[in-house]
Amino acid sequence: MPVTCFWALLLAVGIASCLEPDKLGILPGQNFTTSYHQYAGYLTVRPETNGQIFYWYAESQSATPGGDPLVLWLNGGPGCSSVAGFWGENGPFHLTKEGVVVNNPLAWNKVANMLWLESPLGVGFSRSSSSKDFYQNDTSTAVGNFVALQSFLKKFPEFKGRDFYVFGESYAGHYIPTLIDYILDNKGDLELNLKGFGIGNPTTDRPSDFNAPLPFYRNHALISPQSYQAAYKACNGDFMDTSTACVDHRRAALKEYGSRINIYDILADVCLDGEARGENEAFRMMSIMYGDDADILTPPCIAEYLATYLNRADVKAAIHADPSIKWVQCSDTVDRVKYTYSYASMLPLYARFLNETSLRVLIFSGDIDSVLPFTGTQAWIDKLDRPIKRSWAPWLDSEGQTGGYKVEYDRMTFITIRGAGHMVPEFRPQRAFDFFSRFLAGKAI
């Protein structure tokens, strides 16, 4: 260990890393400096194939980063980049269409040390010398994330024993519970103090998730009452029905929805200048539920300028990314063909967490997301049959407005975020920061 790293660790002065090659300097398009450090690079998860997950770590901006928890953020997909979450949701930087880097005043590293992983292998800048590593499932992804955390601790040993949380959204509804489950089974092999987790608009229980969108569309005047009733009757009340009549009527209802509605946020306009429809996270989620019918719904809208920026040679060099990899928001190498959905439901894992551990659990839902509506989340939470401590009531954001509504269970809290879509930190950043910071501080939301 270099002498400087030794004394920094010994004296507990902030957070020091002994791997300076990963340390970030000023990025292309950034015309300001920061008082905190950031690191990006690779974490080895499969040495035999040079399987490496790309990570981005931002030190806490608080006055005492050495006492702040470590929080892992995972985007969904499956196969969508958490680096996109860094730039578009809760990271310290945002990017303008012109490629200018600007500060995010509501970055989650204001109160925590934040880690973003491009998981599983094949996502974003993550890489492997073996194409077999791009065949992933929920179990292998959990193992990969676990090993990535072990590798992170080798680079940043100052985090050993630190309080640790996992947050994410969408298909992280599978990534996170399976990772938590694996940590519990192997907790002696990960030197972190796991305290809890939070997931937004999560994929959780297939029947609950699948049956929520069509009623949501009807109740928001996105499809006609007649087409909804016809589909409901043909499907015998279960939209998972695979009969020809059900599929045909369901497809007819979906056609009424149209392609110029932002399925992430039904009150927002669609982006009309994008073309790579298959690269957005909503398309992945709709594909899981509706298969080829997803083509009816998904607008061609992605943050193309982020891909343009991250694929610049000078940017790749600045963030220590493999120059040979073309970055896309949702990878073609980990898609419906190569990803196996190992679980139909996460509810057995939630039963374990709530009955056998003291973990704190937060489930949050943007209330205008049509991909995974809050009503589906409510349905699977009801299946857990947990005692309610505080019934449905509004919660207030930092500006004194109704941030949404909440229900407090014996071991879990469910909240809605008023006016938020699928990616809550993107659509309602202030409210997202409010509930995140309160949760970490152990305060009531």
For 404, list phi and psi in degrees, rounded to 5.
Answer: 160, -150
Distance CA 269, CA 254 (A): 18
Angle, CA of 166, 167 and 169, to the nearest 5°: 140
Residue type, 204: T
Distance CA 9, CA 334 (A): 39
Alpha helices in 56-185 (DSSP H): 82-85, 138-155, 172-185
Q: Which of 301, 330, 411, 349 is nearest to 204 (CA)?
A: 349
Catalytic residue, candidates 68, 138, 369, 434: 369
For residue 108, what are the contacts with CB-CB under 8 A and spacing of at least 6? 71, 73, 90, 91, 114, 425, 433, 436
Distances (CA, A) of 315 to 20, 243, 310, 356: 18, 50, 6, 45
For residue 291, what are the contacts with CB-CB under 8 A and spacing of at least 6? none
Query: Taking a C-beta distance cutoff of 8 angstroms, is the pair 143, 101 a contact?
Result: no
140 annotated active-site: no
369 annotated active-site: yes
Beta bridge partners of 393: 406
249 annotated active-site: no
Query: Taking a C-beta distance cutoff of 8 angstroms, is the pair 406, 236 a contact?
Result: no
Catalytic residue, candidates 170, 208, 365, 370: 170
- Taking the CB of residue 239, how many other CB atoms lie within 10 A of it? 23
Catalytic residue, candidates 81, 119, 422, 434: 422
- Taking the CB of residue 11, how many other CB atoms lie within 10 A of it? 9
- 225 by DSSP, 3-state: which? helix
Question: Structure tokens of 5?
Answer: 């790293």
Would you please indicate which residues are annotated as catalytic (active-site) residues?
170, 369, 422
